[in-house]
Amino acid sequence: MACSTSPRSIAAVIGVGPRLGRSVARKIFRIDLGKLSALAEEIAREAKAQVFAIRIDCSDSKSVREAFEVVLSLGFLEVLVFNACEPPVSCPPTSFTAVTLQSFERSLSVSAVGAFHCAQHVIPGMVERRRGTIIFTGSSASLIGFAGYCELSCGKFALRGLSQCLAREFQSSGIHVTHVIIDGAIGSPSRSSIGEQDPTLVDPDALAQTYWHIHTQEKGAWTQEMDLRASIWTGL
């Protein structure tokens, strides 16, 4: 979890990996992040704000609560991006009979229950101030169940349902909730890759730009769901 603060508000990215999470955090925090441990120093020097890296287990309600107690003590959280996913989308398929109950439950706990906990911690403050953005990251598995990916698909289906419920309940309160379906594999950030980006891979920096656009959309035309893919589509 990466958290950036300014004199006005806070942005939190749950699930900061080397691709999408890194690019989204870099776009929101306006720096080249590198390692999470260097966030505070980087943001203080280059963006005149504060960034904190917090270890969080989205499957553990106590871990989520403790993390947000720290975050919300700093001020108003205006943007929440939820990228956490278990198992990772890049994992190979697993035969249904080989999936353990523990693994299946953990997938639901991270992808759906974790998102539920995070949203419950931030929505009251957003409702009070009548503004805020919540972006949930989904995938092709949010729409279609794939053979060998029952854990991923069930978690992502539940996440999509949560997003739709929250969008309809809290839009009138000024909260913009969006579910983003990433239909394809994500490549390396374009600014760190050599040569041209592989056109069959989704550019995480371009995704981050779209996430920023969602946050800055005019309220009269909010996006509640969006699907994104590479310039050469090899998905569904």
The pLDDT tens digits of the residues spanning 110-150 come to 999 999 999 999 999 999 999 999 999 999 999 999 999 99
Helix, strand, coil tally for the chain in percent (to 5)? 45, 15, 35
Residue predicted with more confidence, 134 or 17 = 134
CATH of 2-228, one of 3.40.50.720, 1.20.1740.10, 1.10.490.10, 3.40.50.170: 3.40.50.720
CA distance 162 to 116: 7
Question: Closest Cα partner for 2 from 57, 71, 76?
Answer: 71
Q: In what order do the strands lie in the sheet with 50-53?
A: 50-53, 2-5, 10-14, 77-82, 132-139, 175-182, 225-228
The pLDDT tens digits of the residues spanning 169-222 come to 999 999 999 999 998 887 776 654 444 567 788 888 888 889 999 999 999 899
The pLDDT tens digits of the residues spanning 26-38 come to 555 554 444 455 5
According to the model, what pLDDT value does residue 194 have? 41
The pLDDT tens digits of the residues spanning 35-84 come to 455 544 554 455 455 667 777 888 889 999 999 998 898 889 999 999 88
